[in-house]
Structure 1
Amino acid sequence: MAEDFAAKMSRKTDAELRDYVANRYQYREEAVLAALEELAQRGMPEPGAASIIQELQVSQQVTNEREQAAREREAENELARRRMRGDYPEEAEETGPALYSPSTITIFSVLFSMAAGGVLLALNLRALRRFGKSWLVIGFVVAYVAGTHFALQWLQQQYGNQYMWLGSVFNIVAIVLYNVVFWPRYIGLTPYRSRPWGGALLVCGLITLVYAILYVRFGLNPTL
């Protein structure tokens, strides 16, 4: 509820009212305007009150615009934080670019591989026109896939299939990095609309199907 400055000033002494005017830059514009009005009602108008009122009205408009902008930024940040938690309030109007959510990236990384999640994250960065960061993510995915492949290949040569379960561990580590390092650092609290993932699911499904056929026919050894 807005503060009733008129009622508040009616309880002030004359000296206190003039203090509001004399030190007006220390108080809210509404309070000083109410003090000027109360002085006028008491028959003791402040000299130069008209120019002071005009100055305060301009300052009040600037203050209101600044506070409104701050409220809008906080609302956007809160919406982004809720999206990061997977909370999508129906009443909130979706704004910003269409991006794959962290939950979508995680699900694709689990269903297919960390490479699929990395590609979705890179597509998000390209949608934000952060092309340099998108190439960093692609570079990470390529290096991680290659490193994991050779690590699992070496383990298989040394110990057989005893440690092949580490492939799932490597995948989980990549998912954690996407959510706690790449997204907070490269996307952060940017407001966004949830991007439909049906097309991405179809593409990943077809790639997986082709890979499975090649594996059955030629004995390819998937390591990730």
Structure 2
Amino acid sequence: MKRITGAFLILGICASVLTAKEAPSALEIFYALAGAQSDISIPVPALRPAPVFDRQEKGFSRYSNPVMEACRGERSCFMALDGIDRALCEAYKEDRSCFMALDGADNGWCQVLKEGKSCFMALNGQDVELCERGRYPRKHMFWARCGNITLPDSPSNPIMQACRGERSCFMALDGEDRQLCEAYVEDKSCFMALDDAERGWCEVLKEEKSCFMALDGADQERCERGRFPGKHLFWQHCADQPLVTF
């Protein structure tokens, strides 16, 4: 009985070996398919769409920049923004009262620029002096422009004089303001006008470089989310849309 069982086992092993030799390999199957189909194509995942820049808003992605979407009125301040950006947007763009929208010095600046209060009544300390010299915060001037609000008629406001082209950047300003003005308003190259991260932001907004190529670290992440610095947005607007009403 044991001899019969052993014989059957030997026959089974031999049959398995013969079957394995006759079975085509994976490579043979591939070549057979290639010959039958003429070509083998492997599906590649679709690439993410590249940002589309509108020529009328050079440097601003139409779908990834919440600040400009709120400024243009394409999205509500509440839906597009948070923090101080939302508060400023609601005050200037959606006409919420300065008292309800903002606190501290931002409330005071809003009262001066939007509601026409005097610098002395609305502000304190060094802010009063800056205000009386026409030195308004750029973030407030930017949102005032978005809301078509005419700023106080101050002949001593060098930033607005340079923004409107009434005075050269060199004569009106100094420091970083002069550099940003020269880059955006007087079309000096970003490389010549600015350094480090400021140069990178300028290259993105003015020269349409990618965030990846122009910026590093946290700035690159902010850029890819469409969060551009207010000072650059302000000077970009001065270059693209001169303020004839101020």
Task: Give TM-score scaled by structure 1 length.
Answer: 0.22
More helix by share: 1
Task: Give TM-score scaled by structure 2 length.
Answer: 0.21
**Structure with greater contact order relative to length (CA < 8 Å, sep ≥ 6):** 1
